[in-house]
Amino acid sequence: MKGAGVWIWGLLWCVVGVAALSRSVDGFDDLSAKESLLSLLETDDTSPSPANQLMVPLTLIHGAAAKGAVCLDGTPPGYHLHRGSGSVLLLFQANQLNFRGQRIWSAAMEELMAQGMKNAEQALLSGCSAGGLASILHCDEFGDLFPKTTKVKCLSDAGMFLDAIDVGGGRTLRNMFNGVVKLQGVAKNLPNTCTSQMDPTSCFFPQNLVANIKTPMFLLNAAYDVWQIHQSLAPSTADPHGYWKDCKENHAQCNASQIQFLQDFRDQMLNAINVFSKSEQNGLFINSCFAHCQSEKQDTWFANDSPVIAEKAIAVSVGDWFLDRTTVKAVDCAYPCDKSCHDLVFK
Ligand SMILES: *[C@@H]1O[C@H](CO)[C@@H](O)[C@H](O)[C@H]1NC(C)=O
């Protein structure tokens, strides 16, 4: 990879929108962390990158509005593109479940391909949270844009949203996804390997998609995904008496039955990736941490004390997988065994 030249770096985003996903726990806007991914993959070594921050201007997709590809607030979508030669790293920046997004996606891809992305030797589609889900949903479509000779892979960070039963016995996230699927008419854009078997809302859940993705994919996720604990498992609507309030703020305050509930969630996560994990080309890093989005900040991505599984940091694991150095199937033992976590604590 040395000498492959500067990476092209595209970052697709909507400026504002309905924040269906909580912003507070997401590490958005952290450009330097992306730089370290670039630097890691580009230099093919594991040394921390110098903090040479690069300012990349925002490009609005001019043709987008005409094609109806607008963000929820009516503004055109944009992307950051750092041009170079050789490789592409495309990051979804999504702080919303905006899957009217198909038009945005198509318009952006058209423009990025025209700008030279079609000549990339290597391309990685990546995103965190809603962007992580988007990179699962669009992975094969992204792969199909390139000739067979291009190395194309996808990384989903914190995108493994599970169709789980909440603490009140309901299905909070399924109801939310149902609304997104109906409102934004995404059904026709979901992979038909799934929609031919199941209802569209089920096909919005990665657990019903990942086993059938043809393009090599890496799933990075905390087993105790904090966004899901807050918004899907124990939102206040499912916990009207606030029994989960303290536990949500700090996992150290969870009692034994709450921990058991969370262990069960981890088991569901591991079940959901079981078939996916059997494919040699796929990668995994499921750590037993209370986190959400671990690829976007230097402290969780690659630092002296960043989270590890078997002494390997996330950046090294993703790098090994992307560059075909080794297969990576890193799954941690259950809480509280991992002492390297950067757990999110809200109080
Ligand atoms: C844990 O807390 C919940 C909610 O307050 C309670 O219903 C449950 O009995 C507690 N479990 C234990 C083992 O203390």
DSSP one-letter string for 258-303: HHHHHHHHHHHHHHHTHHHHTSTT-EEEEESSS-S--SSSHHHHSS
Residue nearest to atom 1 of ligand 1 (CA): 255
Distance CA(88)–CA(172), nearest Å, equals 36
How many angstroms separate the alpha carbon of residue 224 from the centre of ligand 1?
19
The dihedral formed by the CA atoms of 236, 202, 277 and 230, expressed in degrees to the nearest 10: -10
Any ligand 1 atom below 6 A from CB of 241? no
CA distance 331 to 277: 10
Ligand 1 centroid – CA 257 distance (Å):
6
Comparing C-alpha atoms, which of 100, 117, 97 is closest to residue 109?
117
Instruction: Give the separation between CA 143 and CA 328, rounded to whole angstroms.
Output: 21
Residue 65 burial (CB < 10 Å; 0-12/13-18/19+)? middle
Residue 337: predicted pLDDT: 95
Task: List pLDDT tens digits, range 231-256.
Answer: 999 999 999 999 999 999 999 999 99
| C-alpha closest to that of 216 among 148, 279, 300 | 279
pLDDT in tens, 45-75: 333 333 333 334 456 555 655 565 545 444 5
DSSP reduced 3-state for 186? coil
Does ligand 1 have an atom closer than 6 angstroms to the CB of 258? yes
Asked if 269 and 162 touch (Cβ cutoff 8 Å), the reply is yes
Contact 55 CB / ligand 1 (< 6 Å): no
CB 17 within 8 Å of CB 73: yes
Mean pLDDT of the chain: 79
Gyration radius from the chain CA atoms: 19
Is this model's pTM higher than 0.95 or not? no
Is residue 255 lining ligand 1, measured as CB closer than 6 Å?
A: yes
Judging by beta carbons within 10 Å of its beta carbon (0-12, 13-18, 19+), is residue 337 exposed, middle or buried? Answer: exposed
Q: What is the pLDDT of residues 136-155, one digit of tens each?
A: 999 999 999 999 999 999 99
CB 296 within 8 A of CB 27: yes
Scan for tokens 């997988």, then name that residue: 321
Report whether residue 257 contacts ligand 1, using a CB cutoff of 6 Å.
yes
Distance from C-alpha of 295 to C-alpha of 275, rounded to nearest angstrom: 24
**β-bridge partners, 308:** 313
Band the pLDDT of 112: cuts 50, 70, 90: confident
Residue 184: which pLDDT band, with cuts at 50, 70 and 90?
Answer: confident
Which residue is closest in CA terms to ligand 1's atom 9? 257
294 lines ligand 1 (CB under 6 A): no
Query: Are the C-beta atoms of residues 157 and 126 closer than 8 Å to each other?
Result: yes
User: Residue of the nearest CA to atom 2 in ligand 1?
Assistant: 255
Q: Which atom of ligand 1 is nearest to the CA of 255?
A: 1
Residue with CA closest to ligand 1 atom 11: 257
Q: Taking the mean position of all CA atoms in its chain, how far away is CA 4?
A: 26
Q: Show which residues are catalytic.
A: 129, 225, 292
Phi/psi at 147 (5° precision)? -65, 160
Residue 233: DSSP 8-state: I
Query: Roughly what angle, to the nearest 10 degrees, separates helices 314-322 and 31-43?
Result: 50
